């Protein structure tokens, strides 16, 4: 009944990594034309950094890790 159960369970992390890499490759392929123009590249990188900063500060405030 449980033949190959652990083999099947061990495939899930590989599947997860594959899905995450696929999402990143799709996102970078979509953003690649924006990186050819210096103005749009700076704006795209700025939005990415601002988004990460927003998420980091929000999580710090929600978890009470330090003064924000």
Give the per-residue pLDDT at 49. 98
**Burial (CB count within 10 angstroms: exposed 0-12, middle 13-18, buried 19+), residue 4:** exposed
Give the per-residue pLDDT at 68. 64
Give the per-residue pLDDT at 67. 73
pLDDT in tens, 6-53: 888 889 999 999 999 999 999 889 889 999 999 999 999 999 999 999
- How far apart, in whole angstroms, are the C-alpha atoms of residue 1 and residue 17? 28
Kindly state whether residues 46 and 26 are assigned to the same domain: no
Domain that holds residue 50: 37-68
Total structural domains within the chain: 2
């Amino acid at each position: 009944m449980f033949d190959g159960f652990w083999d099947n369970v061990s495939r899930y992390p590989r599947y997860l990594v594959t899905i995450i890499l696929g999402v990143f490759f799709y996102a970078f392929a979509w953003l690649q034309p924006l990186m050819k123009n210096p103005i749009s590249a700076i704006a795209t990188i700025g939005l990415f950094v601002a988004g990460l900063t927003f998420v980091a500060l929000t999580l710090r405030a929600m978890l009470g890790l330090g003064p924000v």
